[in-house]
Amino acid sequence: MRSYLSLVPISAKVHRRQNRMTLLCIIFAVFMVTAVFSMAEMGMRMEQARLMEKHGNLSFLDLIGSAMGQSLLGIAVVLFLLILLAGVLMISSSINSSVAQRTKFFGMMRCIGMSRQQIIRFVRLEALNWCKAAIPIGLAGGVVITWGLCAVLRFLVGKEFSTIPLFGVSLFGIICGIFVGIITVLIAASSPAKRASKVSPVTAVSGNAEDKKTIHHSASGRFVRIETALGIHHAVSSKKNLILMTGSFALSIILFLSFSVMIRFVNYLMPQSAAASDLDISSGNSSKAISADLIEKIQAMPGVKVVYGRRSDFDVSAVWQGKTSYSDSLDLISYDDFDLKCLKTDGVLKSGSDLSKVYGDSRYVLATSDQDSPWKIGDHIQIGEESLEIAGLLKYDPFSSNGLTEGKMTLITSSETFVRLTGTTEYSLVMIQLTSDATDENVRAIQLAVGDEYSFHDQREQRTAGTYAAFVFCVYSFLAIIALVTVLNIINSLSMSVSARIKQYGAMRAVGMDERQLIKMIAVEAFTYAFWGCAAGVIVGLPLNKWLYEILITEHFPYALWHLPLTSLIVILLMVFFAAASAVYGPAKRIRSMAVTAAINEL
Amino acid sequence: MNLLEVHQLCKTYGSGDNAVKALKNVSFSVPKGEYVAIVGESGSGKSTLLNMIGALDTPTSGKVMIDGKNIFSMNDRKLTLFRRRNIGFIFQAFNLVPELTVEQNIIFPLLLDYQKPNRKYLEELLAVLNLKERRNHLPSQLSGGQQQRVAIGRALITRPSLILADEPTGNLDSQNSREVIALLKESSKKYEQTIIMITHNRSIAQAADRVLQVSDGVLSDFGRCRE
């Protein structure tokens, strides 16, 4: 041994099991930052290649200055800060517990002459020692996952991603990964290091000395059972620990609520309708409408999955609820059964709508709407001699550019109702969905069958399903990693908390606490953290969710209104419950196999 | 009538060449209300014996009967309940629950049983232990002697028939040691409780009704001190 610091790797070897989770936290932080920045650089390189092809000369700096470069960098920086914060919270709570557990060790070190400064140096070096193993693993993981994601984008999504580099290594991503690893650990270790340096040498020789500083209030067992009271007290007695645990739970919830807005945003940006067509045939500029025979003809052609059409009649005179002042004309559009069914599949109908009434020759219709439209389900509309009832409302107006009705009602009827009302049997728009194995020859054959009298649009290139899937995959992967890190952190912290109190638990067992009561006590501790984490996460996360929704979605899609994200909240509650329950599992197993005498005699 | 009967108790740690025989065929019995001191060198097997009697550890072979019941024939849940209601423990390091007040620590075994304490008995205990003024203090606010008195209160609250004390005066000065022993003896007499105590203190051992010595896992009975 050259100096007292040579103890660091020896101690790391002895405490390998306890340090495993802390290592995982560092690995995840480094991995995520490397992956995020590497992906951002790969995206930029792809954009650079595309622009070079288009404009000729373009430097990397020009690209960073471009709008796309700025937005990619912006997203990466925000993610970097969030990961840094998550990493600091999680690693800090790990180191904190590890220091609390070794109070006697630090007391003994002080006893035999280690100065406060040396203790601080010891704890910091111990934390940095973890980086030695964690950073290379995190970097390797980050680079490999970047390759994997690039391959998925290039080969599975294709199209705009077909030029993304396959085995690119981002130096920028690697530097950021190393930086985040070291900085996170140094920030996280600073407070526990100071705490360790304050341990009094007397702690090494006295029995209950370490409890003096932390416990100021007794656990109240007046209203709840003693094991519940003690569990709550264990969770809330150390403010710092409570803040760290609550913070890491809350941060995950905040990230979850923020990222769920991103998914909603993409839903609005690239709506994935079940009725999205691959080929469109419209009457175009010619006044000639499309005959129903053409639909039957195309339906029988190879490569065709489904053909459906829409008829339209604009500015039809109508009276709504006896009032003509609000809107004296409306648009009438017919949907085939497949199209109507897709409205329900896509979830564009407001609650209370009854689509089943609209099918076939009926007196029921659907109407477009927005937050300002006064008509509602059950209202009657008079068209000529016919009185129609609104059986359902669409959440927005799919026929306007901004989704708002601007006071103009559009009625959607079934094909049969439309023919009865207008007498028109011919279509203004025919849409075709192709089978997955449809070839270009199949498409050319359809185009030939349509002829030149109608406009033919090949929409296959416009479909965004691949990009949408890639984006949603990335967001969910990020969320899954965040959730995983939270779960691991809670498991780790609770396990350390149990280790720190194992002697106390042994004494409790000796004086008559049974296994069930002991496990309940630990479960209550875990669920107390989970409760406060949920409360803090929801209190901060919901306004953030609303704010992000308004600036990202409502600003661009005025018909989209923020609602309480109930599904996200339920998912969060389930995730938190799962995290807390899995955190209890390990300690419960340990307690079941705990020898009471060994626990009492443990130093 | 014997409250405690120990038959051919053996405890071996490890196996093969590394096997260490901590207890070798220990047998003895203790009648109700007797105050027994166990003496012996460090590592002689005293604590192992006490842990076996208290069902904190399981023997390699042999039987421990308390009040006619073979404690090792019970499952863990029954054993825990038996320990909670019939055996009081006093440790050298006090082992109080740091989050609970003096009063809560004393009634802790009752709280584990979801029972309300008998207020009269609790007040009596607090008075005998001289802890009335300190009932709402936390263990960290007490001296070592006071903490050990709380531990004694915890051991007495369920009125157990057997009290096991592992060097209860090990962390106390001579004045506090005398007080703690006096308390234990008084309680033993008053409530007809059997006390088995490990001690290194010769004068404390001499004050016991009977002294047992453990040496290299073998028990010798020094007989009744007053005889």
How do residues B168-226 score in pLDDT, each as one tens digit? 888 778 887 888 888 888 877 888 889 999 988 888 888 888 999 999 989 988 776 55
All residues of chain A having their beta carbon less than 8 Å from the beta carbon of residue B96 are 208
More confident position, B10 or A288? B10
pTM above 0.80, yes or no: no
The partner residue sitting opposite A517, judged by closest CB among B51, B112, B136, is B112
Please tell me if residue A224 touches chain B, with a CB cutoff of 8 Å.
no
In this prediction, residue B183 carries a pLDDT of 82
Write the CA distances from A555 to A289, A372, A559, A563, integer angstroms.
Answer: 38, 16, 9, 15
Residues B143-149 have a mean pLDDT of 87
Q: What angle do CA A103, A106, A112 make, to 5 degrees?
A: 140
Q: β-strand B210-215 against B35-39: which pairing, if any? A: parallel
In this prediction, residue A496 carries a pLDDT of 75
pLDDT above 70 for A603: no
In this prediction, residue A602 carries a pLDDT of 52
Alpha helices in chain B (DSSP H): 46-53, 76-86, 102-106, 108-112, 119-128, 144-156, 174-191, 202-206
The partner residue sitting opposite A215, judged by closest CB among B94, B98, B111, is B98
| Interface contacts (A, B; CB < 8 Å) | 98
> Are B89 and A511 in contact (CB < 8 Å)?
yes
> Are B56 and A597 in contact (CB < 8 Å)?
yes
Which residues in chain A (501-540) have CB-CB distances under 8 A to chain B? 503-504, 507-515, 517
Q: How far is B50 from chain A (nearest CA, A)?
A: 10
All residues of chain A having their beta carbon less than 8 Å from the beta carbon of residue B108 are 226, 511
Reported as a single tens digit per residue, the pLDDT across A132-142 is 889 999 999 99
> Are A512 and B81 in contact (CB < 8 Å)?
yes
Angle between helices A16-55 and A7-14 (to 10 degrees): 100
Residue at B140: amino acid letter: S
Q: What angle do CA A20, A22, A25 make, to 5 degrees?
A: 110
Reported as a single tens digit per residue, the pLDDT across A94-129 is 777 777 767 777 777 777 777 888 888 888 888 888
Please tell me if residue A602 touches chain B, with a CB cutoff of 8 Å.
no
Q: β-strand A386-393 against A364-367: which pairing, if any? A: parallel
HSE on the CB side for A382, CA within 13 Å? 9
Reported as a single tens digit per residue, the pLDDT across B28-73 is 999 988 899 999 988 888 888 998 898 888 899 999 999 899 998 9
- Contact in structure between B163 and B34 (CB atoms under 8 Å): no
- Contact in structure between A335 and A275 (CB atoms under 8 Å): no
In this prediction, residue A286 carries a pLDDT of 55
Q: β-strand A455-458 against A279-282: which pairing, if any? A: antiparallel
Q: How far is A236 from chain B (nearest CA, A)?
A: 11
Best residue in B11, B53, B113, B140 for a mutation probing chain A (most A CBs within 10 Å): B140
CA A589/CA A603 separation, integer angstroms: 21
CA B194/CA A383 separation, integer angstroms: 100
> Are A511 and B109 in contact (CB < 8 Å)?
yes
Q: What are chain B's domains?
A: 2-224 (3.40.50.300)
pLDDT above 50 for A211: no
Please tell me if residue A574 touches chain B, with a CB cutoff of 8 Å.
no
DSSP codes joined into one string, A548-580? HHIIIIITT-TT------HHHHHHHHHHHHHHH
CA A533/CA A543 separation, integer angstroms: 16
HSE on the CB side for A348, CA within 13 Å? 24
Alpha helices in A363-439 (DSSP H): 415-422
Per DSSP, the three-state class of B53 is helix
Please tell me if residue A593 touches chain B, with a CB cutoff of 8 Å.
no
> Are A515 and B104 in contact (CB < 8 Å)?
no
Provide the ipTM: 0.76
Residues A60-84 have a mean pLDDT of 68
- Cβ neighbours for B100, distance < 8 A, ≥ 6 positions apart: A218, A219, A221, A230, B108, B138, B139
All residues of chain B having their beta carbon less than 8 Å from the beta carbon of residue A513 are 80, 84, 112
Angle between helices A7-14 and A116-151 (to 10 degrees): 60
In this prediction, residue B227 carries a pLDDT of 44
Per DSSP, the three-state class of A293 is helix
In this prediction, residue A432 carries a pLDDT of 92
- Extract the tokens encoding B162: 């057997």
> Model confidence at A492, in pLDDT bands (50, 70, 90)?
confident
Highest mean pLDDT among A250-259, A358-367, A422-431: A358-367
- Extract the tokens encoding A568: 């996200």
- Cβ neighbours for B108, distance < 8 A, ≥ 6 positions apart: A226, A511, B97, B100, B154, B157
Please tell me if residue B149 touches chain A, with a CB cutoff of 8 Å.
no
- Extract the tokens encoding A445: 């054959």
Reported as a single tens digit per residue, the pLDDT across A275-285 is 888 888 887 66
- Exposure class string for A366-400: b at 16+ Cβ within 10 A, else e: bbbbbeebebebeeebebeeeebebbbbbbbbbee
- Which region holds residue B94: left if phi is over 0, alpha if psi is between -120 and 50, else beta? left
Reported as a single tens digit per residue, the pLDDT across A576-596 is 888 888 888 888 888 877 777
Highest mean pLDDT among A136-145, A202-211, A219-228, B83-92: A136-145
DSSP codes joined into one string, A426-476? SBSEEEEEE-TT--HHHHHHHHHHH-SSSEEEE-GGG--HHHHHHHHHHHH
Residues A247-264 have a mean pLDDT of 84
Residues A416-427 have a mean pLDDT of 90
pLDDT above 60 for B162: yes
In this prediction, residue A337 carries a pLDDT of 92
- Exposure class string for A154-188: b at 16+ Cβ within 10 A, else e: beebeeebeebbeebebeebbebbbebbbebbbbb
In this prediction, residue A501 carries a pLDDT of 81
> Model confidence at A210, in pLDDT bands (50, 70, 90)?
very low
The partner residue sitting opposite A512, judged by closest CB among B99, B112, B171, is B112
All residues of chain A having their beta carbon less than 8 Å from the beta carbon of residue B77 are 514-515
> Model confidence at A368, in pLDDT bands (50, 70, 90)?
very high
More confident position, A212 or A504? A504
Residue at A453: amino acid letter: E
Q: How far is A508 from chain B (nearest CA, A)?
A: 8
pLDDT above 50 for A212: no
Please give the mean pLDDT across all residues of chain B: 87
In this prediction, residue A223 carries a pLDDT of 75
Percent of chain A predicted with pLDDT > 70 = 86
All residues of chain A having their beta carbon less than 8 Å from the beta carbon of residue B111 are 221, 225-226
Residues B5-15 have a mean pLDDT of 91
- Extract the tokens encoding A462: 């416009």
- Contact in structure between A267 and A556 (CB atoms under 8 Å): no
- Extract the tokens encoding B154: 């915890």
Reported as a single tens digit per residue, the pLDDT across B71-85 is 989 888 888 888 888
In this prediction, residue B224 carries a pLDDT of 67
Q: How far is B136 from chain A (nearest CA, A)?
A: 9
In this prediction, residue A356 carries a pLDDT of 92
pLDDT above 80 for A478: no
Look up residue A220 and give its DSSP letter. P
Q: How far is B112 from chain A (nearest CA, A)?
A: 6
Please give the mean pLDDT across all residues of chain A: 81
Residues A86-98 have a mean pLDDT of 74
In this prediction, residue A128 carries a pLDDT of 86
The partner residue sitting opposite A218, judged by closest CB among B51, B100, B147, is B100
CA A7/CA A358 separation, integer angstroms: 78
